[in-house]
Chain A
Amino acid sequence: MEVVMRDVVKRFGNFTAVDNLNLTIKDGEFVALLGPSGCGKTTTLLMLAGLYKPDSGEILFDDKIVNDVLPKDRNIGMCFQSYALYPHMTVEENIAFPLKLKKLPKKEIERKVKEIAGKFQIEHLLKRYPGQISGGQQQRVALARALVKEPNLLLLDEPLSNLDASLRISMRAEIKKLQKELGITTVFVTHDQAEALSMSDRIAIMNKGKLQDIGTPEDLYMRPKNMFIAGFIGNPPMNFLEVGFNVEGDKIILRRNDFEITLPKEISANYMKKQNDERVILGIRPEHLSIGNEAPNTIKGEIFVVEHLGKDKLVDVKVGNDRIKVLTGQDFEGKMGDMVNVHLDLKNIHLFDADDGNSMKWAA
């Protein structure tokens, strides 16, 4: 089922929780709704579910406006952050509940419950109550309940956030696999960018009620439209440094009192439309920085702290009053207080307007 949200607005009193949201989710697509806590993700999901009604704008399922369709008539499967299992029903009754409401014959209900329980490996729990099973098992039951009625749309609200780390990672793969198997259009809410990056076909990234961008994980990672996206996607997050912007001939020079970077011609071409001497934000990810010999076009700084990340080391370097993070190999030997030269992979730099935070590459 294709889902379209058109100019959707949701207010709580004077507070606008979702601001003019436009979003198209293609049939069978797995879209993650990503953003910090309180940015309006759940509100968006609840509007899709029909539990909240938009103050203005339209929601369409397969070209049909559904604003006034009751939740129960939308054929949506939903899985809540708290799982929302019915505590007074056994696992079996929980899963069977949507089917019972559809007045399916008993035999068929039994068959379907068995089948889905098998898929989620919870057959042995069917007779237990939600209070008697673990969080991970509850989560599977909630998913089973959402999927048993073969919904047209699956809504998942931070379904993994209450699980422990290792379970979370294995569930990611399982949900993704299942979704592809069943081909159900799915909206997955999360505030965890790693989750969004690893699971979804496309990511819609939200901040303060506004949709920032929607695109494939690669898109958002490689070509962030603004500083918010750049900072939110990628871990460890992108470094930002305020610099002066100068054009000299066909080259751009980024300058501040402690370093100066000259961009080669082919990269400069992306950013030419700025005025001289304006302040801009240089963004570069830790993985695109390295520590090397003294050379022109590098940044000099002092090691502030070295964090061990297992496979890598994350080096925190003090540059003037700023600090930048550099991802290095495990063999990096630097210590606190050492002076180092940070090399930039200039192909992977981003420049943002200091005023509105938009990428200068995409401002056109």
Chain B
Amino acid sequence: MKAIKIMSPSRIAIYLLLAAVSFPIVFAYLWLFSGSISDELEFGIVPKGITLENWRFLWSEITIGTKVFENIWPITLNSLLLAGSITLLEVLISLLAGYALSRMNFPGKDFILKTTIILHAFPGVALLIALYYVLNYIGMIDKIAGVVLIKVALELPMATWMIKGFFDEIPWEIEWAAYMDGCSRLQAWYKIILPQIKPGIAAVAIFAFLAGWSEFIYSYTFIFSSENYTLAVFLKNLIGDFRFLDYGLLAAAGLFYMIPVIAFFLISQKSLMTIKFGGIKG
């Protein structure tokens, strides 16, 4: 019934319209790519001659006037460290809390659940000033670890909520079967329950990593020393100085920074498409 149907004009119009509004986005990302490998573009995105000059930040210093930019590799390492730590902590803590909220019963559980829901909607950036004070107080200002803690805390309600959902989906009977087969609670947890929510954990981890990798506002506000810069801050500074001057360099640096995101899109193209994006950004 569906195969031989001829497309109606209205349907064709919708296709065209969708293609038209989507075009600028595709165009912009194409530019990012071609701009990074060429110093001259035709029609905005067709490269005229290939050059690696724009990628020079990978092997040499970038200077503007007398200003010398930081080497990108330690900064990349910082970003990896930041995103990696956020991922690890967020997954670990939300696994623990999600399990408790899903399968344990204790006084105050309902309250914690409701608070989590509200926090899930509550935008942490509104608290930036106070967060500055807190970080300063606990001696974590200007440290990557400080940004890690904040980012983890602000993403925890959502991650915990998701993980709780995964635990909720595992039927009690499976857990019970494990007890009948002779498992202790701990054994049932890591031999039977954890393996079943692996895909969910992976998804939470991926999103935690990407969120950490993309993180800008906290690094920008709470980190001052250049040795603690992350790629986001580095690129922001680069844009400040090279805008109008060298878009090729900016495109290359931007693309370099995008690598994990692109990898994510290529690897998970289908399975992760419909997954949670809510509440992360406005």
B183 with A77: CB separation less than 8 A: no
Cβ–Cβ < 8 Å partners of B8 in chain A:
none
Closest chain-A Cβ to B191's Cβ sits at a distance in Å of 8
Measured between alpha carbons, how far is A227 from B84 in the docked complex, in Å? Answer: 68
Assuming the A-B contacts A72-B184, A101-B187, are A84 and B179 also in contact, with contact meaning beta carbons closer than 8 angstroms in the complex?
no
Measured between alpha carbons, how far is A101 from B179 in the docked complex, in Å? Answer: 10
B180 with A77: CB separation less than 8 A: yes
Q: How many residues of B contact A (CB 8 A)?
A: 16
Within A54-72, which residues are at the interface with B (CB < 8 Å)?
70-72
Measured between alpha carbons, how far is A154 from B177 in the docked complex, in Å? Answer: 13
Measured between alpha carbons, how far is A81 from B171 in the docked complex, in Å? Answer: 12
- Type the 1/0 row for A34-51, where 1 means its CB is closer than 8 Å to any CB of B: 000000000000100111
B176 with A49: CB separation less than 8 A: yes
The answer to the question of B174 belonging to the interface, with a C-beta cut-off of 8 Å to chain A, is yes
Closest chain-B Cβ to A96's Cβ sits at a distance in Å of 10
B174 with A86: CB separation less than 8 A: yes
Cβ–Cβ < 8 Å partners of A102 in chain B:
182
Assuming the A-B contacts A82-B171, A86-B192, are A98 and B176 also in contact, with contact meaning beta carbons closer than 8 angstroms in the complex?
no
B174 with A71: CB separation less than 8 A: no
A78 with B180: CB separation less than 8 A: yes
B177 with A72: CB separation less than 8 A: no
- Type the 1/0 row for A232-254, where 1 means its CB is closer than 8 Å to any CB of B: 00000000000000000000000
The answer to the question of B181 belonging to the interface, with a C-beta cut-off of 8 Å to chain A, is yes
Cβ–Cβ < 8 Å partners of A80 in chain B:
173, 176-177
A84 with B171: CB separation less than 8 A: yes
A84 with B187: CB separation less than 8 A: no
Measured between alpha carbons, how far is A50 from B184 in the docked complex, in Å? Answer: 13
B181 with A101: CB separation less than 8 A: yes
The answer to the question of B282 belonging to the interface, with a C-beta cut-off of 8 Å to chain A, is no
Measured between alpha carbons, how far is A84 from B181 in the docked complex, in Å? Answer: 12
Cβ–Cβ < 8 Å partners of A140 in chain B:
none
B180 with A76: CB separation less than 8 A: yes
A71 with B171: CB separation less than 8 A: no
Assuming the A-B contacts A101-B182, A102-B182, are A87 and B196 also in contact, with contact meaning beta carbons closer than 8 angstroms in the complex?
yes
Measured between alpha carbons, how far is A51 from B176 in the docked complex, in Å? Answer: 7
B176 with A72: CB separation less than 8 A: no
The answer to the question of A88 belonging to the interface, with a C-beta cut-off of 8 Å to chain B, is yes
| Chain A interface category by residue count | 20 to 34
Measured between alpha carbons, how far is A115 from B176 in the docked complex, in Å? Answer: 25
The answer to the question of B139 belonging to the interface, with a C-beta cut-off of 8 Å to chain A, is no
The answer to the question of B195 belonging to the interface, with a C-beta cut-off of 8 Å to chain A, is yes
Assuming the A-B contacts A72-B179, A72-B184, A78-B180, are A84 and B174 also in contact, with contact meaning beta carbons closer than 8 angstroms in the complex?
yes
- Type the 1/0 row for B154-182, where 1 means its CB is closer than 8 Å to any CB of A: 00000000000000000101101111111
Closest chain-B Cβ to A116's Cβ sits at a distance in Å of 14
A71 with B177: CB separation less than 8 A: no
Cβ–Cβ < 8 Å partners of A86 in chain B:
174, 177-178, 192, 196
Measured between alpha carbons, how far is A85 from B187 in the docked complex, in Å? Answer: 16
Which of B174, B178, B181, B195: most chain A CB closer than 10 A? B181
Q: Which residue of chain B is the closest to A80 with respect to CB atoms? A: B173
- Type the 1/0 row for A97-122, where 1 means its CB is closer than 8 Å to any CB of B: 11001100000000000000000000
The answer to the question of A10 belonging to the interface, with a C-beta cut-off of 8 Å to chain B, is no
A84 with B177: CB separation less than 8 A: yes
Measured between alpha carbons, how far is A146 from B178 in the docked complex, in Å? Answer: 11
Cβ–Cβ < 8 Å partners of B173 in chain A:
80-82, 84
Cβ–Cβ < 8 Å partners of B183 in chain A:
72, 101
Q: Which residue of chain A is the closest to B182 with respect to CB atoms? A: A101
The answer to the question of A145 belonging to the interface, with a C-beta cut-off of 8 Å to chain B, is yes
Closest chain-B Cβ to A236's Cβ sits at a distance in Å of 33
Cβ–Cβ < 8 Å partners of B192 in chain A:
86
Query: B182 is contacted by which of A72, A81, A88 (Cβ under 8 Å)?
Result: A72
Closest chain-B Cβ to A112's Cβ sits at a distance in Å of 14
Q: A49-B176, A145-B181 are in contact. List 16 more A-B contacts (CB 8 A).
A: A50-B179, A71-B176, A72-B183, A76-B180, A78-B176, A80-B176, A81-B173, A84-B171, A84-B173, A86-B196, A87-B174, A97-B181, A101-B181, A145-B177, A149-B181, A149-B182
Interface CB pairs A-B, < 8 A, 16: A49-B180, A50-B179, A71-B176, A72-B179, A72-B181, A72-B182, A77-B180, A78-B176, A82-B173, A84-B171, A84-B173, A97-B181, A98-B181, A101-B182, A101-B187, A146-B180
